[in-house]
């Protein structure tokens, strides 16, 4: 299953897993990245829920929803499926 998901999300993973630079990986970084992805997912859903309840037009909250959704997706994909280099590259540790 993980191999199939890695194939599906290869365009995202290839960006962060490429390179030959040295990196410093800490297991805590992966956990924090996953928590960050979950928090941005919750924020994304909250923006949609609050905006729908308030009667706001979808075009008014489209940008925050897209930005929070993309950040959540990238964080969760790299955190759950990425290798050590990808996680380190997200945090910028070398």
The band of 94, judged by pLDDT with boundaries at 50, 70 and 90, is low
- Residue 52 forms part of a structural domain: yes
Total count of domains within the chain? 1
- 75 Cβ contact list (under 8 Å, min separation 6): 33, 34, 36, 37, 40, 90
pLDDT by residue (tens digit) across 5-46? 999 999 999 999 988 888 888 889 999 999 999 999 999 999
- Residue 42 forms part of a structural domain: yes
The band of 93, judged by pLDDT with boundaries at 50, 70 and 90, is low
- Residue 6 forms part of a structural domain: no
The sign of the torsion formed by the CA atoms of 5, 9, 10, 13 equals negative
pLDDT by residue (tens digit) across 39-88? 999 999 999 888 888 787 878 888 999 999 999 999 999 999 999 999 99
Please report the pLDDT score of residue 57 as a whole number: 81
Residue-number span of the structural domain to which 43 is assigned: 12-91
């Amino acid at each position: 299953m993980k191999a199939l998901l890695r194939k599906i999300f290869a365009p995202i993973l290839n960006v962060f897993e490429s390179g030959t630079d040295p990196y410093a990986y800490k297991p805590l970084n992966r956990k924090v990245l996953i928590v960050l992805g979950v928090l941005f997912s919750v924020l994304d859903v909250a923006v949609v829920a609050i905006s729908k309840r308030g009667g706001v037009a979808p075009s008014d909250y489209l940008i925050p929803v897209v930005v929070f959704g993309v950040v959540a997706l990238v964080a969760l994909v790299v955190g759950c499926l990425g290798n050590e280099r990808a996680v380190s590259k997200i945090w910028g540790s070398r």
